[in-house]
Amino acid sequence: MKKLENKVVFITGANSGIGKASALEAAKEGATVVVADLPSANHEATMNELKALGGKSLFVPIDVSDVESVKAAIDTTVKTFGRLDIALNNAGIGAPYSGIHDMDEKVWKKIIDINLTGQFYCVKYELQQFLKQGGGVIVNLASLAGLLAEPGLAPYTASKHGVLGLTKNIAVQYGGQNIRANAICPYYIETPLLNDLQANVKEQWIERTPIKRLGRPEEVAKAFIFFASEDSSYCNGSILALDGGILAG
């Protein structure tokens, strides 16, 4: 039997990168997959790939910084499939390098609104459904920036530290109600977000990594499947670093 057979999986930021890889991996494991993201040409390509794998899938538009949009996306999921079993809260944005002393307040607010408050909106309505149906699984996509700090990335670092705190709080508050919450903290992953980087910046990141390469979206997707499935049935509040050995150095 496949690991996510008959499960309804809701994934934000699923048009590309880690979210798309996770959606495809979930479909391969037998899940019904809900792709939640901003409408774009990317979502059509993702949906076509999911259809080619067979099984059920659905696209729902979402802006995670808008609470009503989040509520509507989860409501649509439940109305369509009757339940929600697993959520990957993956949507997020990066940050421009800036010192705290001269940072634009609008930059701070945008990053916190999407990366942290957006995850709060998602888990709020996911938890409401899980409590109604007797359980569920939450996987929050954080970052290695949730475990350490890098100069010039204060809002991103703060948002990802916040995601880990939120994950731990869900774990201790709702674990007794058959709800598990865990988080994944990737280092730099080869996604479209990195396409505009100068080659020397990528080279510096690779050089810092003990295994001398960046991560792949599919590797993060495999970690998601682990947390989403019964393979991790005793994991709750766990934080998994996918960093190629950065934290060990």
As annotated, the active-site residues are 156
- Nearest-angstrom CA–CA distance, 190 and 101: 31
d(CA 23, CA 26): 5
Asked whether the beta carbons of 47 and 20 are under 8 A apart, the reply is: no
Q: How many CB atoms lie within 10 A of CB 216?
A: 16
- Three-state SS for the chain is CCCCCCCEEEEECCCCHHHHHHHHHHHHCCCEEEEEECCCHHHHHHHHHHHHCCCCEEEEECCCCCHHHHHHHHHHHHHHHCCCCEEEECCCCCCCCECHHHCCHHHHHHHHHHHHHHHHHHHHHHHHHHHHHCCEEEEEECCHHHCCCCCCEHHHHHHHHHHHHHHHHHHHHHHHHCEEEEEEEECCECCHHHCCCCHHHHHHHHHHCCCCCCECHHHHHHHHHHHHCHHHCCCCCCEEEECCCHHHC
Concatenated DSSP letters of 33-53 = EEEEE--SHHHHHHHHHHHHT
